[in-house]
Amino acid sequence: MKKILTIIFGVMMILAGIVHFIKPEIYTPFFPNNFPQFTIVYIGGLVEIIVGICTLTSRYRSFGTLGILVLMIAFLPLHIIDVFKDKPVIGSHLIANIRLPFQFVFIAWAWFINKK
């Protein structure tokens, strides 16, 4: 079961990383205008692809799953801030409020697949 969850999360990360390059405008509103928004989005996408690939390899799996855990924790403030915005980046307030608990699920999932 753990191996299946690890594979699913690895593939999800790779796909999410690819979306950063295909539709970066989805992610740029998370960052203030005075930040290099597209650079941050592209770097984030590349990191997601790298940790996703590492998660799918036995040699680098530990690095990949730890990377996912760190990313999920790092992204948490973005989702918390989004809940309190007048116009949430993720859509409506309802969607932002539904999305936030999923970040905790993703953190727990990443922790579970990372622990030995």
- Predicted local confidence at residue 76, as pLDDT: 93
Q: In this model, does residue 2 exceed pLDDT 90?
A: no
- Predicted local confidence at residue 100, as pLDDT: 93
Average of per-residue pLDDT across 30-49: 92
Average of per-residue pLDDT across 81-106: 91
pTM score: 0.88
Task: For residue 43, give Cα distances in angstroms to 21, 27, 47, 102, 115.
Answer: 10, 12, 6, 23, 26
Q: Give me the DSSP letters along 62-94.
A: HHHHHHHHHHHHHHHHHHHHHHTSSS-TTSSHH
What whole-number distance in Å separates Cα of residue 74 and Cα of residue 47? 12
Q: In this model, does residue 14 exceed pLDDT 90?
A: yes
- Predicted local confidence at residue 19, as pLDDT: 96
Query: Domain-by-domain residue ranges, the chain?
Result: 2-25+35-114
